[in-house]
Structure 1
Amino acid sequence: MAEPLRDRARRATGWRLRMNGDERPHFVVCGSDPLAYWVVRALLATDGAHGQVRVTLVVPERRRSEGPDGRDVPGVRVVRADRLDEATFRRAGLADAAGLALLHQDDVGNMHAALCAQEVEPRLRLVVRMFNTNLADGLRQLFPDSAVLSDASMAAPAFVAAALGELAPTHFRHAGRTLYVARRADVRPQDVVCGLAVTGDPELVRVLPADEAAADVVLAEATGQPPGTELAARRLVRARRRRQPVEVLLRAVRSFATRKIGIAVLVLLGVIAVLGWLNARAAEVNWSEALYLTLVTTLSGQDPDVNKPVAAQIMQVVLNLAGLALIPLITAAVVDGIVNARLALHAGRIQPDRSGHVVVVGLGNIGTRVMAQLHDFGVEVVAIDRNAEARGAALAHRLGVPLIVGDAGREETLRSASVDTCQALVVVSTDDGTNLRAALIARSLDPDLRVVLRLFDGDFAERIQQAFGIGISRSVSYLAAPSFAAALLDRAVIATIPVDRHALLVTEVPVVAGSPLDGRPLGTVARPGEVRLLAHTRVGQKADWSVDPRMVLQAGDRLTVVARRAGLTALLRETTPAPPPAPTGPPAPREAAE
């Protein structure tokens, strides 16, 4: 069982903390992208009013992107280094740290950095960002006191839920109950556990309101009874293919041959048709006989007759010449069409006409998981990526998901994915400019299209959402940061619930002996807008979901709460004893302190 945070901090810091008189837990964060920025912000918000957390951020010498990476956040000590080795970690003060977060987007590099960190401080709390599950399992075996997290796996359900028109992707099991987020109108009143948010006014979303009855977004228990199953039914909306064989055939013919060969064939057929009509009039035969004579003359060049009128002989010669040109053109068109068809099928350009599907742009870490989860829900997916060898391309082929290789910022690419008839567009590439162009072009094709837009900068995402009327824009880093910060602080986060631009944490908090809440009634735990109490568990007993506000708390009790980050920080302050005062005398000798 992992040691409590304060015990680990004191054990790891030892004489250094007493030497400088600083008892604040120290955390080292290594990263240079928005995830590092939001994790640093979350850590500083922890007991920030009392200054009880110190953060050291390790970043490269030069910025690698224009987005925020945490180095400009006030109150953060910044160490610049291009290599995460033992020397860098010693400069960052890792030997007196309570935890280390490795947040670079390089699985192997993060594992190497973890091994180097172990040489500096082997008893360190480690939080590592990883995508490859095999490497993640190996890291957990090497470092038992570690948390290996994936921001992609955390954020992907939020994108999936947004694409399908759901409120939030959260469903979790705790203390024998399965809970999920839903509209109040979609669940039975007896299944509602608590109110989460009031979302009637999109400009003023209120979370954890004092009046629970006013909340239209609730946390409910899944009991297997209708209408709770309606949410699952909506999730399994399957795309419908419109059966228009003529249009599908024309689309296939258009992509079968190149433009020049197609024009040449059409012109030549037009010449043959005109000459055939003239020949039929001269010979005074009906249309079926005229067609027969024209085809035989064109393709075989037979039936020469010197007694024919001069005009008829000239038309026959021209028809024969046209036949000589038509055969190689047909051969060229067939060969060119086969080659183009194979290339188009490989690139996903030949698509049957679809409607009700979901288009996913970008098969990186997030896009790959979004595509896979939508496929698991039975939703038809079309993927777009400019790289045929993208991370999720192999999985797309394995799942049978059509992959269109092209620039999603161009209208023809989006049209080839039938974006004008899809139910949602999920744009999650790593290029904010391409993402924004794709979203705006798709909206021009279908003004009512549901767009789920990924932007790395959370503030930029919110401004785009307001300025362009794009209903949903999400920052992966903002969604995932609370879980990374909680893992670094050794907190048991049960679930993260995104509601609009807010992130609510469901966690279980123990009441420590001597803390301010020890001996106080349960009614003092909840704070409107900050913390809501879900369940109370006494040692040796089952969780009590019918909380009596008059019950007195005891040391060892566990509180299951849903809270905002600031509210959780305040609650942790109330459930933990105050630290002892720093010594005022001269620092103890190193040998004695050790």
Structure 2
Amino acid sequence: MPTAPNENSEHHAEEILAEDFLVCGLGRLGRECVAVLKAFGVHVIGVDISAAAGQDPSVSNLLDAFHAGDCSHADILKKAGIENCRSVLLVTSDERNNIAAAFIARSLNPRVRLIIRSAQENLNALLRQQLGNLVAFEPSQFSASAFALVSLSDQTQAFFEVEETKVRVGRSVVEDDEVRIIGRRVYELNNADRRILGVTTESEPVGDFLLAVNPDKEIAAGDVLTFFESGGRRPGDGALHATQGKREPGPTLATHFSSFRNGLNRLRRSIEAPRVAMISFAIMLVLSVATFLFYRWENPDISALDAVNIAIVLAIGGFDNVFGALKVPFPISDRLYAFSVLIHVCSTVFLGVVFATLTERLLSARLQITRRRPAAPASGHTIVIGMGAIGQRIAEILREWGQPTVGVSQEPVAEDVLTDMSIHFGPLPEALARANVETAKSVIAVLDDQVANLEVSLLARSLNTECTIVFRTADQELARNVASLVSCSTGLSDYAIAAEAIAGAAFGEYIISAFHLDDRSALVTEYDIHQGDTLIGRTLAEIAYGYGVAPIIHRRGDDKRFNPSDDIVLESGDALVVIATVDGLRRIEIGARATPEWRLAILSSPSEDARFEAANAISRISGCDLAQARSAMQRLPSRLEKPLYQQQGSRMTRELRKLLVMTRLEFEGDGRKQSGEPDSK
């Protein structure tokens, strides 16, 4: 990872901000990457094969420089100043162009970090070996899980695996009957497998500073708890309060009625196809009988067998067999001849219907034998509309989580794609009907056209008023307007989510996962601590509360800890995995650590032994020198010289309370002094 500058090392921060970031390809993804990088305050240069791309106001106002040309040409990269670039983001839609540009960029700047858009997993691994300092990605790998999670509507915000540990980020609303939670303090809900990220209200999202919650706050009904936890519980298994023994509701009468109605719909659709053929057959049968009667009535000399033969020949299109001769072998009136012509026309239509029905049935049977795909579930499933790269990845994730999933596509997909999943092709209204949209739990629309996504989402809502709708869009303002008018609908930009993960990777971090946390994106990021890193010597408390990130895993050698203690001091060779917003990563990048604004006043101690143990606890929790802690304990009453974050101070008072040491936590932010009550209990 790049060296994270100290909050006081302004010169180092300016040096970092002076480095250039080159974005090659200013399509949707490239524009999003530019916007995120500029939020970090860095110098961004754009390259695109089209000169018009640099004139787009949404990009030109953010770029510090723009060059028109093909990024796979060395002269264009030189002109863009690649020698001075810290990272190059190759995010054009042409994978070949991106890979070719990567080799040229590496030859021109051996130290530059390469970020390549490519879906070729095997090739990407080889590129990392040959070129080094390279990250290859496909946008759907970051955004697919976000679509899948929103569709479940079970308050799971993220589900990912780190260091063979499955981690779930959840969001739980405290109900009035949650007697085991209401009245408890925030710190009481934290344990070795779970930590509270924030306590808000339903109308208030989690802020950019994670863990910025008073640990002594009492939980009340209506509070929204955002947390992360370890374990194998998958999305859909319930939120925090589900562990308190709340029983899941069983099937209702409405559920049974819905299933019955769904069965009738399937029966109706199964007989709808041959209906036209059956009606045509009935009409032809009536006309054939009429033909027999009319010919026998007008020509009594014709035997019954001859009349039946004439009726059959005319019914199967044999008009010329009866009237092909110059003279008919029996008398026939003009009315009977006209009726015979009518029979011929009807038989032609009837035979066309029969052949079309048989062809449809044969083709359908052939496709079913080829695909061997299961039928759509009766109810409670998720429908993914659009089986492109992101649609397939969403379906894979949902199936990994045990959620029944059905695919819908206008065009057939390859036979080896999700072979054991129900996928329906054809016009979307008909395909949705075959996918049992009336009883689906949720619908995800990820077609390439955002207008088509909105259209099919509204169609799904008209067929199912209770399902959750998630649609892919590039216009977040449109998404907000749709959500305000269409209940249980969410619009997500896959490129916006991917761009934030890619921007994080451009700074040298390893982005493990990206997800949507309330109204912002969050990234799961791994930091490798190297010699000379200014994070060395910092406690996890200083990193967590100073930068507003949530440490989830700390690794030192073979020792790996989930939800690590705040007291751990980072050393060279450590690895730290955190959950952070993009702003949190930016704060670490430029060293913008929040100033601790609380002081610990130590009032009294019952004994020398208590003072000795208290000094150890103070040094461990605050990270201050042990001699400084002992000095404070020997001259009571006193104040600890080292300032603390509120979470540190609250924990310290609880630890000292066990030793019967009286303390008081005092706030000194902005020069104002606010004292809490002495903690003597």
Aligned: 1:118 with 2:106: yes
Preserved contact between residue 38 and residue 70 of structure 1 (Cα < 8 Å):
no
In structure 2, the CA distance between the partners of 1:124 and 1:520, relative to structure 1 (3 Å rule), is: closer
Q: Residue in 1 aligned with 2:195?
A: 194
CA distance in 1, matches of 2:89, 2:126: 17
- Which of 351, 363, 367 is residue 391 of structure 2 equivalent to? 367
Task: Tell me the CA shift for residue 298 of structure 1.
Answer: 7.1
Preserved contact between residue 265 and residue 329 of structure 1 (Cα < 8 Å):
no
Q: Residue in 2 aligned with 1:267?
A: 283
- Which of 398, 420, 437 is residue 455 of structure 2 equivalent to? 437
In structure 2, the CA distance between the partners of 1:198 and 1:80, relative to structure 1 (3 Å rule), is: farther
Task: Tell me the CA shift for residue 454 of structure 1.
Answer: 0.6
CA distance in 2, matches of 1:356, 1:295: 56
CA distance in 2, matches of 1:539, 1:397: 39
CA distance in 2, matches of 1:25, 1:55: 9
CA distance in 2, matches of 1:121, 1:151: 26
Preserved contact between residue 3 and residue 533 of structure 2 (Cα < 8 Å):
no
In structure 2, the CA distance between the partners of 1:443 and 1:521, relative to structure 1 (3 Å rule), is: same
Task: Tell me the CA shift for residue 219 of structure 1.
Answer: 0.3
Preserved contact between residue 360 and residue 371 of structure 1 (Cα < 8 Å):
yes
Q: Residue in 1 aligned with 2:355?
A: 335
CA distance in 2, matches of 1:141, 1:516: 29
Aligned: 1:210 with 2:213: yes
Write the mapping of 1:44-83 to structure 2, written as runs, cut at 5 A: 44-46=38-40, 48=41, 53-63=42-52, 71-74=59-62, 76-82=64-70
- Which of 438, 449, 463 is residue 467 of structure 2 equivalent to? 449
CA distance in 1, matches of 2:578, 2:437: 41
Write the mapping of 1:91-110 to structure 2, written as runs, cut at 5 A: 91-110=79-98
Aligned: 1:38 with 2:55: no
Residue deviations 1:279-302, cap 9 Å, x none?
xxxxxxxxxxxxxxx99997699x
Q: Residue in 2 aligned with 1:483?
A: 501
Q: Residue in 2 aligned with 1:562?
A: 579
Tell me whether 74-83 or 551-560 shows the greater mean CA deviation: 551-560
Preserved contact between residue 6 and residue 25 of structure 1 (Cα < 8 Å):
no
Task: Tell me the CA shift for residue 115 of structure 1.
Answer: 2.3
Q: Residue in 1 aligned with 2:515?
A: 497
In structure 2, the CA distance between the partners of 1:43 and 1:181, relative to structure 1 (3 Å rule), is: same
Q: Residue in 2 aligned with 1:405?
A: 426
Aligned: 1:219 with 2:235: no
Aligned to 1:506, the other structure's residue is in SS state strand
Preserved contact between residue 396 and residue 402 of structure 1 (Cα < 8 Å):
no
Task: Tell me the CA shift for residue 194 of structure 1.
Answer: 1.7
CA distance in 2, matches of 1:276, 1:244: 45
In structure 2, the CA distance between the partners of 1:474 and 1:319, relative to structure 1 (3 Å rule), is: same
CA distance in 2, matches of 1:121, 1:491: 19
Q: Residue in 2 aligned with 1:136?
A: 124
Tell me whether 36-45 or 329-338 shows the greater mean CA deviation: 329-338
Task: Tell me the CA shift for residue 218 of structure 1.
Answer: 1.2
In structure 2, the CA distance between the partners of 1:461 and 1:189, relative to structure 1 (3 Å rule), is: same
Give, as a single letter, the amino acid of the residue that structure 1 aligns with 2:213. A
Aligned to 2:545, the other structure's residue is in SS state coil
Give, as a single letter, the amino acid of the residue that structure 2 aligns with 1:568. L
Residue deviations 1:393-447, cap 9 Å, x none?
44447345323233x4xx4554354322222111111111111111122212222
CA distance in 1, matches of 2:194, 2:376: 45
RMSD: 4.9
Q: Residue in 1 aligned with 2:145?
A: 157
- Which of 18, 26, 29 is residue 20 of structure 2 equivalent to? 26
Q: Residue in 2 aligned with 1:357?
A: 381
Aligned to 1:113, the other structure's residue is in SS state helix
Give, as a single letter, the amino acid of the residue that structure 2 aligns with 1:401. S
Q: Residue in 2 aligned with 1:304?
A: none
Preserved contact between residue 170 and residue 495 of structure 1 (Cα < 8 Å):
no
CA distance in 2, matches of 1:344, 1:384: 16
Give, as a single letter, the amino acid of the residue that structure 2 aligns with 1:141. Q
CA distance in 1, matches of 2:271, 2:338: 28
CA distance in 2, matches of 1:181, 1:318: 78
Preserved contact between residue 511 and residue 575 of structure 1 (Cα < 8 Å):
no
Give, as a single letter, the amino acid of the residue that structure 1 aligns with 2:455. R
CA distance in 2, matches of 1:555, 1:426: 45
Residue deviations 1:182-216, cap 9 Å, x none?
34589997465222345642564546341466552
Relative to the length of structure 1, the TM-score reads: 0.70
CA distance in 1, matches of 2:265, 2:445: 28
CA distance in 1, matches of 2:233, 2:386: 36
Aligned to 1:338, the other structure's residue is in SS state helix
Write the mapping of 1:521-536 to structure 2, written as runs, cut at 5 A: 522-527=540-545, 530-534=548-552
CA distance in 1, matches of 2:558, 2:264: 70
Q: Which runs of 5+ in 1 are unaligned?
A: 8-20, 235-239, 278-293, 302-315, 577-594
Aligned: 1:506 with 2:524: yes
CA distance in 2, matches of 1:226, 1:41: 31
- Which of 383, 408, 416 is residue 407 of structure 2 equivalent to? 383
Task: Tell me the CA shift for residue 320 of structure 1.
Answer: 11
State how many pairs are aligned: 512
Q: Which one has a bigger Cα radius of gyration?
A: 2
Tell me whether 156-165 or 415-424 shows the greater mean CA deviation: 415-424
Aligned to 2:422, the other structure's residue is in SS state coil
Residue deviations 1:457-485, cap 9 Å, x none?
34443343334445321111121122211
Q: Which runs of 5+ in 2 are unaligned?
A: 5-14, 175-180, 182-188, 249-257, 294-306, 315-335, 594-681
Give, as a single letter, the amino acid of the residue that structure 2 aligns with 1:334. V
In structure 2, the CA distance between the partners of 1:346 and 1:144, relative to structure 1 (3 Å rule), is: farther
Q: Residue in 2 aligned with 1:291?
A: none
Give, as a single letter, the amino acid of the residue that structure 2 aligns with 1:362. G
Task: Tell me the CA shift for residue 332 of structure 1.
Answer: 4.2
Give, as a single letter, the amino acid of the residue that structure 1 aligns with 2:454. L
- Which of 64, 68, 72 is residue 84 of structure 1 equivalent to? 72
Task: Tell me the CA shift for residue 96 of structure 1.
Answer: 1.6
Preserved contact between residue 536 and residue 544 of structure 1 (Cα < 8 Å):
yes
CA distance in 1, matches of 2:399, 2:566: 44
CA distance in 2, matches of 1:63, 1:419: 42
Give, as a single letter, the amino acid of the residue that structure 2 aligns with 1:398. T
Task: Tell me the CA shift for residue 554 of structure 1.
Answer: 5.9
In structure 2, the CA distance between the partners of 1:269 and 1:573, relative to structure 1 (3 Å rule), is: same
Give, as a single letter, the amino acid of the residue that structure 2 aligns with 1:371. A
- Which of 424, 437, 462 is residue 480 of structure 2 equivalent to? 462
In structure 2, the CA distance between the partners of 1:63 and 1:553, relative to structure 1 (3 Å rule), is: same
- Which of 141, 160, 166 is residue 171 of structure 1 equivalent to? 160
In structure 2, the CA distance between the partners of 1:463 and 1:262, relative to structure 1 (3 Å rule), is: same
Aligned to 2:544, the other structure's residue is in SS state coil
Write the mapping of 1:568-579 to structure 2, written as runs, cut at 5 A: 568-574=585-591
CA distance in 1, matches of 2:442, 2:558: 48
Preserved contact between residue 522 and residue 552 of structure 1 (Cα < 8 Å):
yes
Residue deviations 1:308-358, cap 9 Å, x none?
xxxxxxxx999999999988776544322121234567899x987943332
In structure 2, the CA distance between the partners of 1:197 and 1:441, relative to structure 1 (3 Å rule), is: farther
